[in-house]
Every structure is written in structure tokens, then in C-alpha cells.
Structure 1
Amino acid sequence: MKRTLHNWFFVALVDILAFNAANIVAFMIRFVFRLPPYNFDAFLRLFPFETLSLILLFFFYGLYDRPVSKTSRELISAVVTAIIVNTFFAAMVSFLIVNIGFPRSVFAISAGLQMVVFVGWRLLYRSWSLRSSPHVHVLVVGPKREWPELTIRAGKYLPRIHLHFLQAEDELPSGLVPRIGAVVLGTVDQDTKSRYFIECMRHNIPCLWRPDTYDLLVAGSELTSLGETPMFSLASIRTRHGSAAVKRLADIAVSFFGLIGISPFLLLIALGIVIDSGRPVLYWQERITAGGRRFMLVKFRTMIPDAEKATGPVLATADDPRITRLGKFLRAAHFDELPQLWNILKGDMSLVGPRPERPAFVDQHRRNIDFYELRHLSTPGLTGLAQVAGSYSSTPEEKAAYDLEYAKTWSWLKDLSILIRTIIQIPFKGDK
């Protein structure tokens, strides 16, 4: 515990020093190695608040968790997102408060320097932590088909591990328990899960398992009582009316000005589609929005015309022969989704929310996934938590769990974070 606290203070101290050093260097670059008193005094009035907000944002994005708990890509994404949000916050404060004013170029220069410095130092710290982490015996329990995936997940949590594998029906060897440092559960029945929960609590062993939609639904419920009977109070996951109205206004503003601003680019894509594979340019498809209402989602066409005429509704695969040459690029860059700004402007969609599904898939998921209907309490989005936190191979059950987590933990900061992470991750994740 003392070592963990000591490490946290060390990391936070380096963060504070690096952050303010980047700001000072940004001033010197902007003013050609001079520090004008008026402008620098404005920075001195702002920097305590800006520093505090950065530390809080680093907490929010898990940058003070164990350094090996994130992959390098996740670490870079979290650092860059936190810096962008903090820079936006500082620029807004300096704009609103007259006596805290200096050239906005300082913010841009400082943000660039911060990204280089923080990404570099945090990757070095993560590398050092990996080398100095002790080896831990990890017990993986689940079907054999899940062992490779569970091994990857265990490796993200505890990078230097010795793995032991059991299936749900296997007995736990008594001699193994004293050596186990963590347990990772895959798809197991409730009896098996309860058995391992008891063993882990009895021996003070961390236990990790993938939550299903029920786990997420009841997580954070308030423990109350009805007379002398203990009861759970389940909180609503609906966005409050005031917040929903402001979110809608933000959607209208961004989609309206976005369509105007990128209209030349949209016309260029349309021309490319006509040259590559002819008409039509746009593809309209029925999807489900909030409340189960149907609407027509619009995208740039990336497949051959009438691609589903013979097969009916089927999901596209990575090497789908129906995808056109230009369509592969548009899908990888997600440019095929840009016309959905029109759906956002109309109110069928939002910038951030669960991705809208087709009616055929919704009917299928309703039968197979518990509480799937709850995702329709939120307005579907252009991007969502499942798109930035999941992977191409995420199952419908995993995506539904991400959607429920988003609905339960919604905030303005989460929406902004998802938007920024989407922009950052597009080159890495491609078509999802």
C-alpha cells in the first residue's frame, strides 16, 4: 500500500512538472524566448486551476491506475484525450475571464508539447513497470475455446503471469490455491461463479469476470430497506429532461454546421463513388432508434448495388467481395458514415450513443440477449462506447453490455471523451 501511494505521488509530481514546463516552453516559443510580463502573469493566475483539472482528468481516464493495466494504444488514447479536454477547458476559462488573456496559439503549442512529453514519459514508466512487475500465478476458468481470449485479458491486467487453466466442471486442486494471485472467469454457470467467488474471498484473491447485462444493470444500486427487509433500489438510466434537451441542441448545432463545413468533401466522395461504381451514391437502410421507432439511416454506398438482393440482411465481413474498391477506403476511414449528420439533424440519431441496428438483428438480439431492449432508451449515435472500448471481434453481447454501461454512466465529459477517442482510434481500428 505504501509503495502504491509513493508511486502515485511520484507520477503525479512528474505530471505537474512536465505540464507546467510544457506551458512555459510554449510561451517561450510563441514569444521567441521572451516572457512578456502581462501575458505570463495571466498564465500564473490560470495555471493552478489548469494543473488541478489535468490531474483530475488523468484520474478520470485511469492514468493513475496501475501503469500496466492499459495497453500502449489505450495509454496513448487516454493521455491525448485528457490533454485535449484540459486544453479546451483552459481556453474557455481564459476566453470568459477578461483578465486571464493571452494568445490562443500558446494553448495549441502547449497541447502539442504535452502530447509528446506525456506520451513519451508515460510509455517509459509503463515499460519500467512491466520489467519490474513480479510474476503472478493466474487461474483461468472457462471453456477451452475462450482460453486464448482470456489469456489476452489476463495479460492486460497482470503482464508477467504464469497461467493455469481449468474448465468449469474441473475441481480446483487444493495445492494450487496458495500460489494463485488472481482468478479470471470466462463463460461459466452461476454455480461455478459462486464457488469461485467464495474461494477468492476466503483467500483474499482478486477475481475478474466479464459482467453480463444483468451485472451492469444492478451495479451501483442503492441498498435500502423496506421495513426490516433489505432491498436494492434500481436507479433509472434515462437521461434527465434538461440534459437531454441540451444534448439535442448540441447535436443540432454540430450536425448543421458540420454538414455545411464538409459539404465540398462530401461532394468529392460522391463524385468518387460515381466514377468507381456508378450510381446510386447514397444507401438508405432501415434502423431502430429510441423507443423502438424505425427510421431510414443514410450512408455513402460502399457495396455493389443490390448487394443483399439474393442473401437478405447479413453482416459484412472484412474481405467481403461485395465491397467496392473505394468502399474499402471509405469504411476503413468511416467516411461512409458522414451523411448520418443528416439523421442527427433530423433527430433520429445523436452524435454519441449506441449504434442503431437493423430490425432483423434487433429481433434476433432481443431473443438472445437479456435486457437488450434497454439500449433503446438511449438515442442511437454516430459513435458510441462499444466502438471505442470494444474491438472488431466484440460479440453482440459485449456490445450490448457497453451500451448499457454508457446509459448508466452518461455524462457530458463521457460524450466528449468518446468523440475524441473515436477520432484518435479511426486510423488504428478501421471498419467496426
Structure 2
Amino acid sequence: MSGHPATRDPAAITTRPQRTHAGLDTTAVLPYASSRASERTRGLRAWMLTLPVDLTALLAPLLLSQDYWRGTLANAALAVAVFTTGGLYRARRHLSILDELPALCGRLLACGAVVAIIAAYRHDSVPYVSGFMHGVALSAGLVIVGRAGTRTLTIVARKRRWMEHNAIIVGGGPIGAELARLLRRYPQYGLRFVGCVDAPSRRDNGLPLIGTLDELEQLVRLVECEVLVIADPDCPDATVMDYLLRPASARCDLWAVPRLWGSGSQGGYPDHVGAFPIVRIGDLTLSGPRWAIKRASDVVLASLALLVLSPLLLLCAVATFLDGGRGIFFRQERIGRYGKPFQVIKFRSMRPADEHESQTTWSIAHDRRIGPIGRFMRRTSLDELPQLWNILRGEMSVVGPRPERPYFVEKFSAAYPDYPTRHRVPVGLTGLAQVSGLRGDTPISDRSRFDNYYVENWSLWLDIRIVLRTVAEVFRGGGR
């Protein structure tokens, strides 16, 4: 292994003649990027190996007896759900079955107890519950053995560089340099170090920098980077976040060395690279399986809503026609995900004097041109129902930041630095800010904080809660 590029000293990177590609220094990058092993394993994730083994172990009691098949299936489904929410299928840099053992045992015991209590209530038979618990004990033991096996297999694959992912370290200071040394010396962490990026002030300090933060998106594409590790960069957190939220960077897995050491990691047990604590940063852009779940729920909910509410939609259309004549629907340009414009559809509640007024007037809640029917529809949010079609088209989501007009997006983005980051996800028919009382003439800074909180803490249950609160607001007439 002495001739492998990964064993060289990172400092040696700066001693070779510089090469450029698209204006970037690639001297430190190209020899280490796009390895054949990395290409073969680029799409692999931790759960792809662990989940099938866990399911096999949890369902193993069915091979011995089918008397308890309902309980066994219920226990398997519950355990997988609890493992998922508890972070036991997330990627880890330091792998050890001993680190996972407390979390595994606790969750297996809790799932078995829940299913056993339900079984005892239904069957009222001690022998039945006793036989079922024997199967639970067997499956729990097999899960632990399976986990030990998959961890051992993964470590071996990483050490032989059969399984690794290209990684850029964001931060060229002492922590970044030491992390680079550790990643290149110890392949069991599963990351192939391809270079550091940082602020321009650290470009000429002798560290292995391949570019600045301004060049991060280009470098991510150039080296086919899959992982970004944030290690104390020489700039404010807000600046780093701005670069990380750009499309190319946002597709990478994010890890960070916490500035306040001792911070806990997601999943309930710590992770580390060498002696450096490291935490996984959640999905900042709602992509991958989480996006698939959200999109599927949007399509199902919007389809059902259009079907169930079709009589109400027809009634609203007739009322709009009677109130203002032709032109039942009102279309207006709004800004959606990643700043892409689209035409939002609503029932017309008034007629603006001209297109400029429509695009630049902030609030028309007390405008005299709004008739009684239009005012009622706005107060109950019935005028928003045609946006269900925008949801089916993929331009919107049921829940998300509310879409705004281009004029105000530009204005608010200039005044509030966090405002543009709300466009990481599709805009929504309703949102956390709206059900939290931030409608109409309320502070944009507050709305922006609520919207970004929603993006960074998304879950299907959070969407359900927001929808239920929206329904309650509609019945209370808490609209505009």
C-alpha cells in the first residue's frame, strides 16, 4: 500500500506543479478522485446492507413455527420503524457493534414488550405469549449477530477500498489538516479525501487547499464529491451555510466537527474520526427517500382532496362567477423550489387595476374592490383550493413555505439573508408559519425562521400536524 496516493502526506500536495481545470487548482484533486472502487460503490448507503439482514433476523422465527406469524410480523415492522427513527440505519464513520449494542438492546426489548402486551390482551393465554417471546428472544439475538457481521464486512470493505466515498473538507485550519491526515491514513472511515476548501485567507498558509468556498460547487462536480466535512472554516457559519445550500453542494452528505465539543450526535450515540467528534447533519434540502415519501403523500392527498372537494370547488366557481363575472381563475407568477417561477392558480376574489399592482401590492385584505363572496373565500382560504392542481403538477407541495411573487422575493432576499434558503423545498398550500399565526402583515424575518425550521426538521408527522392545524384554522375563519 506504500505506493497508493492515499498514503502520502497531505502537505506534499502543495509541492507539485500546479494544474488547472476550469480555473481551479486540481493538483491535489485529480490523483485521488474518481477511483474505480469509488465509482462502483457510489450509490451504496448504510441501510442497504443492514436493513435486509435485520429483516431476515427478525423474521427468522417463522422458519421454526408459524403459530405466531402475526406477532412476528408486527414485531419486525415495529422494530424496523423504531430503528429508523432512532438513527440505527444512518451512516457512521466509526463502526463498532459495542457502540450500537445499548441502543439495539433497548429498542428490541421495547418492541418485543409492546407486541407481547398486545398479544396477551388478545389471546389471554400464557403459553401463547411464552412461545411468542421465545421467538422474540431468538430474533433479537440474531439481529445483534447480524449487526456484528455487517459491521465487520463493512470495515473490511472500507480497508480494502472496495467501499468509499469522495470527501472534501470545508476548513483548511489545524482541524481540517488533521482530519485530512486521518482520512488518508485510516480507510476504515470510508472516506477518500480529495482536498480542502476554505476562505481565501487560508489559501497561502501551506495547507492542502484546492480552492475557496466560492469554488465549492465547481469542485464538487469536478471530483464527483459525495461527502462534505465541515471542520472549522475561516468564515461565519451563515456564509458556510449559504454555500452548502447551493444545489451541487446540497446533494452531498454533510458531516461536521462541532465547535463545542461534547455535542451529541443524531441517533443517540456518538461518532468520531480519530479523536475528533463528528456529527451527521440532517438533509438540508429534503431529497432522497424523504423527498420520495413527501412527494408520494402530496400526490395521494391532493388527488383525494380534488375528488372529495369537487362539489365544493364547483360551488366556489359558481359563486366567483356570480360575484365578478368571467375569469373565475386568477393566475399569478410565484417563485418555487430553487427559485424557479411558476403560475399559481387561485379563485379570483377581486380584480387588480393592472398587472403591476398585482405583482407589487403587498396586502389587499381591506381593499374595497373585494366583494362579500371574495372576502368570505379569502377568510376561509377557499380561494386557495385550485392550487391542488399545482401540487399534482409538482410545482407545489401540500405543506411548505408559502409561494411569493418575484418582486417581493427579491426585496425580502436583500433585506433578510435567511429568506432565500426557504426555497430549498417546494412551496406549499399551507405552512408552519401560516398555522403559527404568521399571515398577512406579519414580520418577514419571523416567517423566514419558521419556514427554515420546517425544512430542517421535516417529518411526515410534522406535515400531518400542519394539515390538521390548517383545517382547524379554516373552520375558525382565520384566513386573510
TM-score by length of 2: 0.42
TM-score by length of 1: 0.46
